[in-house]
Amino acid sequence: MKFPILLPNIFNHPFTYESDLKLEIGDFVEVSFGKSKITGVVWNELEKKNNKSFKIKRIIKKLEIPKLKKKTIDFLNWFAEYNMVPKGMALKLVLLSGKPIEKLNNKFYKDFKFENNRNLVELTEEQKEVLKEINISNNKFNVHVLQGTTGSGKTLVYFEALKHILKKNFQGLIMLPEIGLTNQFEKKFIEFFGFKPAIWHSGISKKNKEIIWSGITLGIIKVVIGARSSLFLPFKNLGLIIVDEEHDQSYKQDEGVIYNARDMAVSRASFENVPINLITAVPSVETYENIKKKKYGVSKLKQRYRNASLPDYEIINLSNLKLEKQSWLSKDIIQKVKFHLEKKDQVLFFLNRRGFSPNALCNKCFETFSCPNCSINLVYHKNKNHLLCHYCGFKSSLKRNCTKEGNCDLIFSGPGVERISEEVKKNFPLKKVEIFSSDTMNKKSSKEKLEKIINNEIEILVGTQLISKGFHFPNLNCIVVVDIDLSSQGHDLRSAEKNLQLYHQLSGRAGRTGQPSTVYFQTYNSNTKLISDITNKDPEIFLEKESQIRKKNNLPPFQRFIALILTGENENNLEKEATEFKEFLEKKINGKILGPVSAPIFRLKKKYRIRLLIRGPKTIKLQTSLALIIQNYKFQSGIKLSVDVDPISFN
C-alpha cells in the first residue's frame, strides 16, 4: 500500500512510500531518503502527480511513538500556508533535531509529576471576579485577554485558571517572551503548584529536551513553560495556552522559519479547540482592535496586589541643566537617588543600550569603527575590551593603524549601560552596583544575581529593557530613565506603541510592595506630552489614537503587510534582480508593491539586502497566490529570497 510521508526538510509536499504495515495518518516512520535514514510522518495528503516514473521506496519501520494528532497536522498545514514556508519546515519545528524520542524509563519523568496539593494563595475579590470572566470551564476555543496594571497579580489569576485545567487531566502551555524570565518564573510556579514544570527554550540541554518531548507526547508532563518554539511541542491532551506579555515583540521569530508566536498560538488554540489567555499590562494595537471588534473577550485588573500604589512620575528637563563633560546624569538626579538610597530603596538606572558606547571614532582621522560584514557601527564593550557587532557577532580589538599617523586615537560617543554604570560608581562608590542586560544575565550566575537583587544586596541596578519584563524586585522604588529621547527616535511604525508598553512595564517594576516610588525621566525635549501619554494610567487613550492613525493610513492591523527581502553578495546584480522581480510580481498580484529599497541595515553578515513590501487585504488568499507566483520565478544564482508575513521590524 502507498503512503504519503512528509519529511522535515525544505519540501512543501510529502513523498510516496510503500509498506505492508498498518499505518494511520500521524504515525511516525523511518524511511530512507537519498543516502540517509530519516524520520517522517504519515501525512493527510498525497504527493502531487509527477510525470516522471520513480521506483517507490519502502518504509523501513514504524516508530513506537504516539501519533501526531490530526489537529496538529491541520495546524501545521495552515501554519505553512500562512507564513509561506514549506510544510516540511513546519514539521521540522515539531521534530526534535529531526528525530522524535521513543518512551524513556519512567525515572526520567518523575521530576515533573503533577501534584494537586497546594492552595496557599487567597485571591482578592477583584481577582476572583476576573477568574470567573476568563471562563475556561467550557473547554472550547476562545481568546480572552487578561489586562492588568503591572503588579496587579495577573499571574496568580492565570495560575488558578491553569489549576482548573490540570485537575481535569489536561496539559497547559505558558509562553514567555524571554529565556531570562524562566528562572524566576519557575520558582513562582513551584511555590504555587508544588511541582516542577518543564522548561523549554534554546538553552535547554539535548537530553532534557528529549525527556520533555517524550513526556509531552505521552501526556505524562502536564505543564510546559517555554519560549516561542514550545508552541510546536506535540501535546497529547492540550487544554489551555497562556501567552504572557502578549504585546512583547520578542514573540516574533525573525530568522530561519519566520513567524509570530503569539498569533500562531491563537491559531493553534483554534485548531485544538481549547481556550487561550493573552496576558498584558498594555495590549498590542492588534489585540486592542480584536477586543474592540469583540473577537476577543477582556477582563481588567485595576488594583495592584495588596493595594500597592503606582509610582509617581517626575521630569528632569536637561535643557535647563548643564551636564558635566562626559556625564549623562544631572546633579538633580544624583540628589534624588541619594534620598532614595538613604531610605534603603533599590535604584534602577535604565538605558536601552548594551555595552559602553555605540560609537567609536578616531580623534585624528575621524573614521568610525564599523562592522566589515554589516553596514552598522561596532559597539564598544569595555568589560571585555573589544568592539562588537550586535548583528553578526564580529569582534575587533581597539588597535587600528591611523591613516594620519601611528595608531588611531579613539574617542567614544554616546552612552551604553557600561558607561552609565561607571558614572554611577563614581557618584556612589560605597554602593553595590550591577549591570542587568542580556550580556550579563544569560549566564549560569544569573540565578544567583537575581537572588541578590531580590534580597536588596545589590543596591543599584543599571539595566536595559530586559529588566522591564516580568521580574519582581520588592525593594525597587526609584527608576531613572537616563534619556527618554534615545528610545523615542526612529522610523519604525510601531515605535510609539513599543515605548508605551516599555515604560508601563518598566514603571511596573517599582513600588510593588506598597512603598512610595518614583520614576524620573531625564529629557532634552521640552514637549512633555510624550511622557504624559506613555505614563497615563489608562493606556487605552493612547491605543485608540494610535489605532485611528493606523486605520487612516491603511497600516497593520487594517491591512496585511508581507515583506520580501532579497539578499546577495553582488550589489549591482541584487538591485537589477529586485527591479525585475517587482515587475514580474506586479502583473500577477492582487496587492500594492512598494520598493525595491535598500534595507535600513543594507549589508548584514556580508550580504547586501533589498526590500519589497506588499500591502493587501487581510486574507490568506494573498499568501496563497503569492506563493504560487514566486514558484514560477527563477532567481539568479547567489540571490536568496526571505518572506516575512506581518513584519514587525523593518531593518
Whole-number average pLDDT of the chain: 87
Where b means 16+ CB within 10 Å and e means fewer, 135-157 reads ebeeeeebbbbbbbbbbbbbbbb
CATH 3.40.1440.60 fits 2-98, yes or no: yes
Angstrom CA distances, 624 to 93, 254, 630, 646, stand at 21, 21, 10, 15
Cβ-in-10-Å burial (0-12, 13-18, 19+) of 461 comes to buried
Of 192, 455, 469, 248, whose CA–CA distance to 350 is shortest? 469
282-328 pLDDT, tens digit per residue, is 999 999 999 999 999 999 988 876 666 778 888 888 887 778 887 88
Helix axes 620-631, 70-83, angle to 10 degrees: 70
Cell of 131: 477568574
Instruction: Determine which helix (DSSP H) or strand (DSSP E) holds 295, and give its type and residue range.
Output: none
Please tell me the predicted confidence (pLDDT) of residue 530: 67
Angstrom CA distances, 333 to 417, 522, 531, stand at 17, 8, 17
Q: How many helices (H) and strands (E) does the chain have?
A: 18, 29
One fold for 106-305 and 308-353+415-547: yes
List the chain domain ranges.
2-98, 106-305, 308-353+415-547, 560-645
DSSP class of 58: B
Query: What is the architecture of the domain spanning 106-305?
Result: 3-Layer(aba) Sandwich (3.40)
Instruction: Determine which helix (DSSP H) or strand (DSSP E) holds 379, and give its type and residue range.
Output: strand 379-381
Go through the chain and tell me how many residues it has. 651
The SS3 assignment for 108 reads helix
Cell of 556: 497593520
Please tell me the predicted confidence (pLDDT) of residue 73: 96
559-570 pLDDT, tens digit per residue, is 999 999 999 999
Residue 211 neighbours by CB distance under 10 Å: 21
End-to-end CA distance of the chain: 50
Which residue is listed with cell 528637563? 317
Q: Please determine, for residue 489, whether its predicted confidence score (pLDDT) is greater than 60.
A: no
Angstrom CA distances, 189 to 116, 193, 227, stand at 13, 6, 16
| Range with the poorest average pLDDT among 227-241, 457-471, 592-606 | 457-471
256-278 pLDDT, tens digit per residue, is 899 999 999 999 999 999 999 99
Helix axes 285-292, 540-552, angle to 10 degrees: 90
Q: How confident is the model at residue 516 (pLDDT cuts 50, 70, 90)?
A: confident
Please tell me the predicted confidence (pLDDT) of residue 178: 82
Amino acid of residue 372? P
**Are 382 and 356 a contacting pair, CB within 8 Å?**
yes
Of 330, 603, 351, whose CA–CA distance to 461 is shortest? 351
| Range with the poorest average pLDDT among 250-259, 323-332, 639-648 | 323-332
Q: What is the CATH number of domain 560-645?
A: 3.30.70.600
Of 561, 559, 556, 563, whose CA–CA distance to 578 is shortest? 563
* CATH class entry, domain 308-353+415-547: alpha beta
**Are 469 and 498 a contacting pair, CB within 8 Å?**
no
Q: How confident is the model at residue 54 (pLDDT cuts 50, 70, 90)?
A: confident
Phi, psi of 462 (to 5 degrees): -125, 115
Please tell me the predicted confidence (pLDDT) of residue 442: 62
Most confident of 47-61, 107-121, 215-229, 445-459: 215-229
Q: How confident is the model at residue 444 (pLDDT cuts 50, 70, 90)?
A: low
Of 269, 267, 199, 265, whose CA–CA distance to 239 is shortest? 269
- Region of 421 (left: φ > 0; alpha: ψ -120 to 50; beta: rest) is alpha
Farthest-apart Cα atoms in the chain, separation: 84
What is the average per-residue pLDDT within 345-369? 89
Of 50, 90, 47, 45, whose CA–CA distance to 72 is shortest? 90
